[in-house]
Homo-oligomer: A and B are copies of this chain.
């Protein structure tokens, strides 16, 4: 599968919003964020829209509108970002129901669900240990 890059786009946008804030420009338009990510402003409005729904950014409309962080960058983790933009599970079960007359087909789903949940939880815990502030700091010191 070609994994999507939504988490990357969203993290990029948030880091850029935070750097702009530190430089005295707390509000950026989707055009300005798109210029840094180098993609279409609509893509960013969609991504920032997801982040808005999740409470990570604020948005203003009308003249002088734009986006800004809704909370300190130290309190936005990569797990928050992942939750906001990536509803898909990491591993999918069978697309079509397996054969229920076979013992394996009948019982495999809960067994795999357990394993997948455990692995996904480990993945999420790792993301929760990184913040946008940490990402930005690493960017500026590289």
Report A's interface with B, CB cutoff 8 A: 1-5, 7-9, 11-12, 15-16, 19, 35-39, 78, 88-99, 102-105, 107-108, 110-112, 114-115, 118-127, 129-130, 135-136, 138-140, 142
Complex: A36 Cα to B11 Cα, angstroms = 42
Question: A102 contacts B142, CB within 8 Å?
Answer: no
How far is the CB of A40 from the nearest CB of chain B, in Å? 10
The A interface, classified by DSSP as helix, strand, loop or mixed, is helix
User: With A36-B98, A91-B3 given, is the CB distance from A119 to B108 under 8 Å?
Assistant: no
Copies of this protein in the assembly total: 2
Question: B3 contacts A110, CB within 8 Å?
Answer: no
Complex interface: chain B residues within 8 A of A105 (CB): 12, 36-38
Complex interface: chain B residues within 8 A of A121 (CB): 126
Question: A115 contacts B135, CB within 8 Å?
Answer: yes
Question: B92 contacts A2, CB within 8 Å?
Answer: yes
- CB < 8 Å neighbour of A108 from B15, B39, B89: B15
- 22 A-B contacts (beta carbon < 8 Å): A1-B2, A1-B3, A2-B88, A2-B92, A3-B91, A8-B91, A8-B112, A11-B112, A19-B104, A36-B104, A38-B96, A90-B123, A107-B138, A107-B139, A108-B139, A110-B142, A111-B135, A111-B142, A112-B135, A118-B130, A119-B127, A122-B126
